[in-house]
Structure 1
Amino acid sequence: MGLRFLVVEGNTRGARQAHKEAYGLMPSESYAAVIQGIVGETVCDIAFPADPGANLPDAAGLQSYDGIVLTGSHLNIYDRTPDILSQIDLMRAVYASGTPSFGSCWGLQVAAVAADGDVRPNPLGREVGLARKLTATDQGRSHPLLEGRPAAYDAPAIHLDMVTALPGDCTVLAFNAVSPVQAAEIRQDGGVFWGVQYHPEFSLGELAVILGRRTEILVKEGFCRTAEDAMAYAQDLSTLDKDPARFDLAWRHGVDAEVLDPQRRTREIRNFIEHRVKTAKSARGRA
């Protein structure tokens, strides 16, 4: 019997449709495709808690899933608008359900706030393109979420906000020079969440599309000198996605196998499925 996942889309309708028009898939659809590429026989339902009147699973519905995954989002959680509050409430219900959960970027931030942590803009500014020199903490070196990662590694990333106050039962698993919380385990109300501030689900192609739509930000915040430079960077990433053997581009942008190899890039998602989802499914008697 295959696994059943709920993918929780963090974006509002307009943002996810814009992503689909540019990339061909909504972020939640892309995330579901990554999961199905890892597991194979898998059902992935999608929820849109940012939509007014969204039909969301109740407690029994959440418990019926083998795993729950939260995507990134364009929202800022400290704004506490209704489309954000509904996602925090859903995450609290996810904790209470006991269903294994995982999140990238916004997903980690929602999980932290739902467990009484806090998230604010990073005073060092935005992290764009790749999160560099991610390093496991002492606890992270032996934690199954980071199993297979080297001592230092890079990963696709784009975020301004970060976890600034840890929830009560939180273990930080990885950090870098930009953010002290790049990976974490959070325990709350009987549930266990694993999350990362970066995006192991992003291919370089998807990252290129996202950056290509944000050239103004890249120039305004000093990452690129001109819009043409920003578009050239996005194009290089897109080319490298199609042809990972382009050593010249990999060397130019400092992209190694931890990003280029899909199995290594998606390591945290694979570990979540192997060590949390499958284990919990067996413990629940669903194997």
Structure 2
Amino acid sequence: MDLNILIVEGNIKEDSEFFIKAAGASAADNLKNLILKIEPTINIEIINPGHDNETANAIKNMSKYNGIVFTGGAMRLNDMTDIIKKHINFASNCFNHKNKILAICWGLQVCSTAAGGKVNPGKNGAHIGIASNVVINNEGQKHFIYKDKKNIFTSPAFNFDEVSDLPKDAILLSSDKVNNVMGVIFNAGNSEVIGLQYHPDYEYFQMLNLIAGRKERLFNNKDFLSEDEYQKHISYIKSENELLNFKDRTCEVRNWLHYIKN
């Protein structure tokens, strides 16, 4: 069976250009490359909710998709610009249909908001390129998304905001010291959403390039208070890069693809 997947780009044009320069691909293309590496025969379409014609077309043809992935992105949900409203509105429209949705980082924040949850700046700080010691709880250990994943893992991650209030009846799957909501499942309308507040789709070298590109902003925001602190963080990510392998990092994406296939 040929699988059809819709990837929903989480960035506006300017941010996408930064991602392409720093990480070698837009958020959507980066995810597309990973999916095709795991399952080369999948048909993938990419849309951007900022483009009304693309969303109208996707909504019209919604029944043909076996799965939808919302990618990460650089916007901040509480800015609530017209573009952000379009992202939320598109997620709400997806929920009217029977969809299997994987929502990553910004995608989780958009889908959570569309489903009645809340997103706020992280009260314990940010993940800057990495999330350390994410703990899979008992519910997570029973869920297919974490099949073959270590119960405590470290992963590429980049976010300043977090899901502060979960949608109704959501089940928390994993947490770390920075964000309580790292992995979660919930039903929204007719859709089922699996959300991850970290990036199985990115590698650490891409995160290091994104950090370098945002260095000035990170210092302005007081995420780092000295060059020494910054360099220690970079060294830590490099040391974790040595330990990361493709299979461990991408486990959740592979498990989700297996799920929508069957």
| TM-score normalised by structure 2 residue count | 0.91
**Are residue 66 (structure 1) and residue 66 (structure 2) matched?**
yes
Q: Is the 8 Å Cα contact of residues 209 and 234 (structure 1) preserved in structure 2?
A: no
| TM-score normalised by structure 1 residue count | 0.84
Aligned partner letter, 2:201: E
* Cα deviations by residue, 1:233-276 (Å, 9 ceiling, x for unpaired): 65996xxxxxxxxxxx53xxx4564xx2111101111111112x
In the TM superposition, what is the alpha-carbon distance from 1:176 to its structure 2 partner?
A: 0.9
Question: 1-side partners of 2:198 and 2:100: how far apart?
Answer: 19
Aligned partner letter, 1:171: I
Instruction: Tell me the residue number matched to 2:124.
Output: 124
Instruction: Tell me the residue number matched to 2:245.
Output: 261
In the TM superposition, what is the alpha-carbon distance from 1:24 to its structure 2 partner?
A: 3.0
Distance change >3 Å, CA 278–CA 230, structure 1 → 2: same
Give the root-mean-square deviation of aligned CA atoms.
2.1
Aligned with 1:139: secondary structure?
helix
After superposition, where does 1:23-34 map in structure 2 within 5 Å?
A: 23-34=23-34
In the TM superposition, what is the alpha-carbon distance from 1:3 to its structure 2 partner?
A: 1.6
**Aligned partner (choices 278, 283, 286) of residue 261 of structure 2:** 278
In the TM superposition, what is the alpha-carbon distance from 1:218 to its structure 2 partner?
A: 3.7
Instruction: Tell me the residue number matched to 1:102.
Output: 102
- Choose 1 or 2 for highest CA Rg: 1
Distance change >3 Å, CA 222–CA 117, structure 1 → 2: closer
After superposition, where does 1:192-203 map in structure 2 within 5 Å?
A: 192-203=192-203
* Cα deviations by residue, 1:183-204 (Å, 9 ceiling, x for unpaired): 0001011110111000110012
Aligned with 2:156: secondary structure?
strand
Question: 1-side partners of 2:28 and 2:241: how far apart?
Answer: 25
Instruction: Tell me the residue number matched to 1:44.
Output: 44
Aligned partner letter, 1:223: F
* Cα deviations by residue, 1:55-102 (Å, 9 ceiling, x for unpaired): 213444122111110111111112221101111111112222212110
Question: 2-side partners of 1:232 and 1:140: how far apart?
Answer: 32
Question: 2-side partners of 1:269 and 1:101: how far apart?
Answer: 11
Count of aligned pairs between the two proteins: 260
Q: Is the 8 Å Cα contact of residues 72 and 105 (structure 2) preserved in structure 1?
A: yes
Q: Is the 8 Å Cα contact of residues 22 and 206 (structure 2) preserved in structure 1?
A: no
Q: Is the 8 Å Cα contact of residues 96 and 189 (structure 2) preserved in structure 1?
A: yes
Instruction: Tell me the residue number matched to 2:141.
Output: 141
Instruction: Tell me the residue number matched to 1:245.
Output: none
User: Which segment drifts farther, 105-114 or 124-133?
Assistant: 124-133
Instruction: Tell me the residue number matched to 1:217.
Output: 217
Percent identical residues: 25
Question: 1-side partners of 2:171 and 2:226: how far apart?
Answer: 39
Q: Is the 8 Å Cα contact of residues 212 and 234 (structure 1) preserved in structure 2?
A: no
Instruction: Tell me the residue number matched to 2:13.
Output: 13
Aligned with 2:96: secondary structure?
helix
In the TM superposition, what is the alpha-carbon distance from 1:168 to its structure 2 partner?
A: 0.7
Question: 1-side partners of 2:20 and 2:77: how far apart?
Answer: 23
Question: 2-side partners of 1:30 and 1:10: how far apart?
Answer: 12
User: Which segment drifts farther, 263-272 or 205-214?
Assistant: 205-214
Which is bigger in relative contact order (C-alpha 8 A, separation at least 6)?
2
Aligned with 2:202: secondary structure?
coil
